[in-house]
Structure 1
C-alpha cells in the first residue's frame, strides 16, 4: 500500500526488514517536499548528475527521460527515479528563479493573485489615490522576460465622453499642466497658473480632424483637415489664411497669398497710411493717390500731384514697374536721375508700346536704333486674316504722313513699294518683276544677264574685259552652218501654249558650239545665248560680201571681154 499524494510505501504488519520500506519512504519525502529543481528546460539527462539532483524534463525528453516529460526526475542512489506530480505541487526552478505550480496539464509560473484595494509604494495610498508611489523615477518597460510583444502601452480609461482621462503635472501638489481627454474625446494640452483655472492651449479634435491653438481663453490659430493654417479665423481657406494685420520681414510663396474678406482689402501700411491694398479676388491696388509699383533698391515717394518710383539715399541703380490709374504701365531702370529712375519702356492706356519714349503714337514706337542678333533671328509680322497686307514701312519723316518705302507681304509674294507704288515683286517661285524697268529704257546701258544661279550680271563688250583678241577662224565663222532653226510650241509657264515660236535647240547648239549655250545648275544645256550668235552672223556677212565683190569683178571682166 502507498499513500495517496506522494505514493509513500506503508509498513505492513509483521513486515520483515522494515528499515527498507522506511528508507524508501524517506527518499520519496526528500524528493517531493520543498521541491527544488535545477531546470524545467532540459530535454537530455545530464551526463554526470549529482546525487539528489532533480529536474522537470522538458518536451520532448530523450534517453532515460523519454516519456517522463513534466514529471519529477530525481537522481537517487546512482539512478533516476520519476515521480508524477499532483495538482497543486510547487517547484522552485533554479534556472529561472521562479516558482512553478502544476495545474494538472503544465507547470506555470506562480503569479500573485487576487486584488488589493490600496497599494502604496514608499508612501500611503488613500481612497482617492489607490495607487501611490514616492520615487525619483518610475520605469515601465516592455516584457522581455516572457517574452512579450516588445510593446509598452500605458492605458488610462474613462467611463464616458464627458469624463476625464489625463496626465496632470503639478508643482507642490498644485496642477500646472494637463494632457489628455478632458471632458471630451479631443486630445488637449492645458496649462494653469494657480492649479484651479486651466487654459486650453492645444486641442486635437478626432471628429473634425482639426488642430486648434488657444491662448487666454480665445482661439488664436487652427489647422484644418485639409492642412490649411488659419490665424484669426476658424475656417482657413488657404495654406496660410490670416484674418487681420500681418507683419513680416520676408515672405516666400510658390502659390499665392489670399488676404482680406469679401470686398474688403488688406492694407499694407507705410508712413503715409495704407499705400497698397490686396483684395481677396486677386487684385493688387493702391488707395487711389498712388501708382502701384514693384521696385528694387528704392522706395515710393510722393512729390506734389505726381506719383512715381522714388529713390532715397541711392547713388547706384534701381528698377521698377509702375501701374498708373489711367491704365498705363511704366517700366523703369538704370541710374538714378535726382530721386527718380527714368522710364525705359511704357504701355499707354491705348495699348501703344513706347521704348525710350513716353509718348508712343503707334502700336510700337522706338526712339533709337533697333538691333537684332543671334544665330537664327527673325522678325515675324503677321495678320489675323489674309484679306490685307502686312509689311514694314520705312520713312525719314514723321510717321503721320505717307510712308516713303514699304516692304510688305501679299500671300507668299514680297512687294517693295516706293513713291506710293509697287516697284519690285519677288514671287514665291523665285520670279523677280520690276514694273518700271520695262518702260524705263536707255540706248547706252549694257545688257543685263541672268546666270544659272539666278544672279543678275551686266553684259559688257569693252576691250578692258578681253584678252587674247584675234580674228575668227574659218571653222568658227562657219559654225552657224551646223545649226538647225526650228519652230515649236513653248511649255514654259510664262508663255502662251498655243503660240508658235522660232529658235534653236540648246542641246543641238551645244554639240556644235558649246560657247553659244547657257548651262543650267546641273551642267546640262539650258538656253541658247542668241547675243553671241551675232559675231558669227557678222563674220558670215563679211565673208559673203567679200565673195560677192569677187564675183562682181569677175562678171564685169567677162562683160568687158
Structure 2
C-alpha cells in the first residue's frame, strides 16, 4: 500500500509492517491494526480478509474486530469488543464504564467486586442463566429464577419452584459406598458436638426470615480416629425462641425422641400415640419373665398402662362384698376380632350380660359409654372371695359334723 493511499497529513503518522500490519499515531490516538489502512476518513481493508484494531484513546484501551471484507472496501468496526476504561473497569461487548475493579459482560452479568479468589461478595445482573464448566461440560447452573442445579442445566424443571437447589448424580445403591449427591464439610478442631447440617429458613412475618428447623450430623466424641456420629433433627415451636433438638439417631442406631439419653433402641421422653387403620403393636422375640407386671390397654382411650397392686397406689380400701357369680353365663363362641383365630371356639363371658346383671365393676366401657369388654383378671378376686366363703362354710360344716358324731353312741 503506497503512503499516498493513507491520506496522511499534519501530525498523523503511520508505519506499515509486513504489508498487512500497521501502526498509526496522531495527537489523540495510537492505533495498531491488522489488514487495515486509513484514507483520512475511514478504515479500509488492505486485503480480502478479517480485520482487527487495537486503539489507545483518551486513556482508554479498546479492541475492535471486523468480519472478512473485500480489499479497498470501508470497514465498519462498530463499538469496541472490549474496553479497558480509564477508571480501571473492564467492559466486554459494551461501552459503559462498570467502575474501578469491576467487569461487565455484554448487557447481562455484572460482577460488583471482580472475579477471582479473595473476593467475598458480588452482585449479578441479567436474565440469562449462569453456568460453570469443567472438562468442557456444564457442572452447575444458576437460572434466571435463582434455582441452582448441580449436575443439571435445567434446575427449574424439578418441582417448578424458585429458589431451590437441585443436585443430580448417579450414586451407589448401598451405604457401603456413601451414596450421596452432596457433601457438607466441617474441618474444625475435633470436639464432641462438632458438626455440619442444613438449616431451613422461611419468612417469619413477610419481612423477616428466620429458622424453622434443621438437620445436623454431629460428632459424639472428641477422640481422634473415632468417627462415631449422630444425626440430629431440630424444630422451632410457635413461641419462637431457639431451634430445639427433637429427635436423634445415634451412631449405634438408637432412636431418641425428646431426649439425648440412650435407654433402648427406641427411647421416647413423652407420650406415644398409635393412629391409623392398623392400631397394632407387634413384639416379636419378646423376652418373658415370671415376675413381670401386668400391662393393659384402656378401653376408653387406648392408652397402655402398667397394672400395679401396691398399697401406695390405693385409697378408700374396703372388704369386697359378695358378688353372685351365678349371674355369670359362661359361653363358647367364635371371635370376630382380627387378632383371633376366627375358625376355632373360644370360652368366655358376654360383657353386655354382666353389665345388665349390675356387676359393672368388672366391665370396661368406651369413651361413649358403650360396653367394650370384661376384666377377666379381676374375676380371680371375685372367685377368691367365693373360695374364702366356701372354705369358711366347709370348716363350719366340718365342725358341726364332728360335734354330731361325738354325741352318738
Q: Could you say which structure has the larger radius of gyration?
A: 1
TM-score (normalizing by structure 2) = 0.43
TM-score (normalizing by structure 1) = 0.33
